[in-house]
Amino acid sequence: MDRQRQLEVLDINDERFHLTVSEDAMTVWAEFMPSRGSGPPIGLKQIDAMLAFEYIVHGIQEQVIRGAVAECAWAVAPFRLVVARGTEPVAEVPPYVEMLSEFNPNKKNGIQESEKGQVDFREFSPFTIVRKDKYLAVQHPGNPGKDGCNVYGENLPFEIAPRKNIQAGKNIRIEKNGYYAAKDGQLLLTGEVLNVEETLVIKGSVGYATGHIDFPGDIIIHGFVNDGFKLYSGGTITCMQTLDVTDVNAKHGLNVNGGIIGRLESTIKIGDDVNVRFINHCNFFSEGDITVRSEIIHSTIHTKGRVTVEEGSDIINSTIYSFHSVSAANITNPTGKVNAFYLGTDFNLRDAVNESRLRLNAITRKYDRLKTLLDAPLENRYKDIEKAYKLIEAQWLKEKENLDELLKRFYVDPGAELMVADEIAWGTRIEICEAVLALPRSMHETTFKLSENGKSVVTEAGVPKESGKRLKLLSGRRRVKNDGEPAKGRAG
């Protein structure tokens, strides 16, 4: 407890008072003791004299003292009041920048319950993601300091208040009122430096510790991606281990050092090139080339680029839609499921082309019936048959024009090829710009391409150079003799 100095009035009347000064000389208390007899009351001059005697000159509470003198005349019990108070110094606050609480990078996102009271912990994310031009931190102007004074009139100099000042780091734009995000990315506060990182680096695996990942830039994952967790990237996804797919979407590329393991309902959508070890049980959509180092198994692939299954690797029980060529060492069907390749066409337009053909066929049938009726003798014609004929003719011409326009965009690359360095299994369906070949037997070291007239798929022994690199042809294999001729079997 602070030591207190007590001062007592030396008057010998019944009404008395004592002064007590705090250790820091910032407060003076007076304890008033009412009269118990008929002695004279305390006067204001007595109190002022005692304050002056003790050099108390600052912060004297005149109104409080007057009220206390009046109260002492009728009070019964002693009472205590503050009769002088010093002025505290006001610390100087320099200008500083403070994070907005909603974008505090050290604050984890909350978990919300569903209407049934269920919690999906995969929705939890420890990352703070911000978009470009988001307001992140406010600029405070600061406040000047002001000296204080104790009850003895002594000056108390102000101090400079310590205040955490956030500094602008990477991808932070400085404005008069604070900081803004200059790029999309992850908000990180390292010490007192605020950064927006365009790449999200996950040192471990994607699981319940990370939740689903939805990031506007590149994502690098050093661990595994566990089943049931979604990945969305506005850039490229790079995974150092195996990727268990539930839902993966990347605006740019995908690189997986391990393989991709999915389920039949698992979907991958990639906006650029793909480089993986293997693809297993996936629905895969890519805007660029797909390079697989090991094998494609029980998957459906859609790509606007090429598919290259590297030397010595296989395509097994899969269906591939490719704008351009496909190459592999082996194409096998150990479970009996036929492999199918649809090359040189835009798979996005396949349904539109088929629907247009169906409409055109229906209109053609009507057209033919009306033409038969129109050719009948005049007296046997139905009323307005000529008008109906012209209407159907106009519909046919419009639909034919629509189909022709679709086919111009549908046939993307008549030069697309299927190149097999070793063996391709019987039953494999090969369609190049709608010319179809179903293999009646296995073949070896063969390239399949569109015939010059575009009406059939022909074979060519051996595998040509692809991107400056010739796929290895396994020695001792029999070359196909019907070079440049359609393979035996059904062709369209």
The set of residues, in sequence order, having a beta carbon less than 8 Å from that of 185 and lying 6+ positions away, is: 129, 130, 171, 196, 197, 198, 199, 200, 215, 216, 217
- Per-residue pLDDT of the chain in tens (492 residues, 90 and over written 9): 343 444 444 444 567 788 999 999 999 999 988 876 666 777 888 888 889 999 999 999 999 988 888 888 787 788 899 999 999 999 999 999 988 887 754 454 444 444 444 445 566 677 888 899 999 999 999 899 999 999 999 999 999 988 888 899 999 999 999 999 999 988 888 888 999 999 999 988 888 888 888 899 999 999 888 888 889 999 999 999 988 887 899 999 999 998 899 876 778 999 999 999 999 999 999 999 999 999 999 999 999 999 999 877 899 999 999 999 999 999 999 888 899 999 999 999 999 999 999 999 999 998 888 777 776 665 555 566 777 888 888 999 999 999 999 999 999 999 999 999 999 999 999 999 999 999 989 999 999 999 999 999 999 887 655 433 434 333 233 333 333 333 433 333
- 284-314: b (≥16 Cβ within 10 Å) or e: bbbbbbbbbbbbbbbbbbbbbbbbbbbebbb
At position 72, the amino acid (one-letter code) is C
Q: Which CATH architecture has domain 96-146+161-197?
A: Beta Barrel (2.40)
Q: Is 268 exposed, middle or buried (0-12, 13-18, 19+ CB in 10 A)?
A: buried
The set of residues, in sequence order, having a beta carbon less than 8 Å from that of 402 and lying 6+ positions away, is: 356
How many CA atoms, within 13 angstroms, populate the side-chain half-sphere of residue 372? 5
- Give the distance from CA 2 to its chain's centroid: 59
CB 280 within 8 A of CB 264: no
Domain boundaries defined on the chain: 5-85, 96-146+161-197, 198-288, 348-410
Rg (CA), the chain: 44
**Residues comprising the chain, all counted:** 492
201 forms bridges with which residues in the sheet? 220
Q: Measured between alpha carbons, how far is 85 from 147 in angstroms, rounded to an integer?
A: 15
Q: Measured between alpha carbons, how far is 76 from 33 in angstroms, rounded to an integer?
A: 8
CB 238 within 8 A of CB 225: no
CB 199 within 8 A of CB 187: no
